[in-house]
Amino acid sequence: MAARAPQAKRKTGAEGPRTKKIEPADVDVGLDGLAGHVGYAVRRFQLWIFQDFIKTLAAVDITPTQYSVLTVIAANPGPTQMAVAKRLGIERARLVHLLDALEQRNLVTRAASKTDRRSHALHLTGAGEASLRQFKLLAAEHERHVIDKIGKDNRERLLEILAPFR
Amino acid sequence: MAARAPQAKRKTGAEGPRTKKIEPADVDVGLDGLAGHVGYAVRRFQLWIFQDFIKTLAAVDITPTQYSVLTVIAANPGPTQMAVAKRLGIERARLVHLLDALEQRNLVTRAASKTDRRSHALHLTGAGEASLRQFKLLAAEHERHVIDKIGKDNRERLLEILAPFR
DNA sequence: GGCCGACTGTTGTGGTCGACAACAATCATT
DNA sequence: AATGATTGTTGTCGACCACAACAGTCGGCC
Are A127 and A70 in contact by the 8 Å Cβ rule? The answer is no
**How far is Cα of residue B140 from the mean position of the Cα atoms in its chain?**
16
Check residue A62 and report its DSSP letter.
-
The topology (CATH level 3) of A45-165 is: Arc Repressor Mutant, subunit A (1.10.10)
Nearest Cα residue to A111 out of A103, A102, A122, A96: A122
Which pLDDT tens digit goes with each residue over B71-110? 999 999 999 999 999 999 999 999 999 999 999 999 999 9
CATH 3.90.1820.10 fits domain B65-165: no
Tell me the pLDDT band of B1, cut-offs 50, 70 and 90. very low
Mean pLDDT over all residues of chain A?
82
Average pLDDT over residues B111-125: 94
Is A76's CB within 8 Å of B50's CB? no
* pLDDT band at residue A116 using 50, 70 and 90 as cut-offs: very high
Cβ contact (<8 Å) for A29 and B83? Answer: yes
Q: Do B29 and A74 touch (CB under 8 A)?
A: no
d(CA A81, CA A94): 10
User: Which of A38-52, B29-43, B139-153 shows the lowest mean pLDDT across its residues?
Assistant: B29-43
| Mean pLDDT of the region A13-36 | 46
Distance measured from the CA of protein residue A94 to the C1' of nucleotide D16, in angstroms: 9
Which nucleotide shows the minimum CA-to-C1' distance to residue B82?
D7
Task: Spell out the domain ranges in chain B.
Answer: 65-165
Distances in whole angstroms, Cα of residue A45 to Cα of each of A107, A138, B162: 30, 20, 7
Q: How far apart are CA B154 and CA B33, in angstroms?
A: 24
CB distance B157–A162 less than 8 Å? no
B-facing residues of A in 61-120 (CB < 8 A) are: 64, 68, 71-72, 74-76, 78-80, 82-84, 86-87, 89, 110-118, 120
Binning pLDDT at 50, 70 and 90, where does residue A32 land?
A: low
Query: What are the residues whose beta carbons fall under 8 Å from the beta carbon of A15, sequence distance 6 or more?
Result: B114
Chain A residues inside the 8 Å CB shell of B29: 72, 75-76, 79, 83-84, 86-87
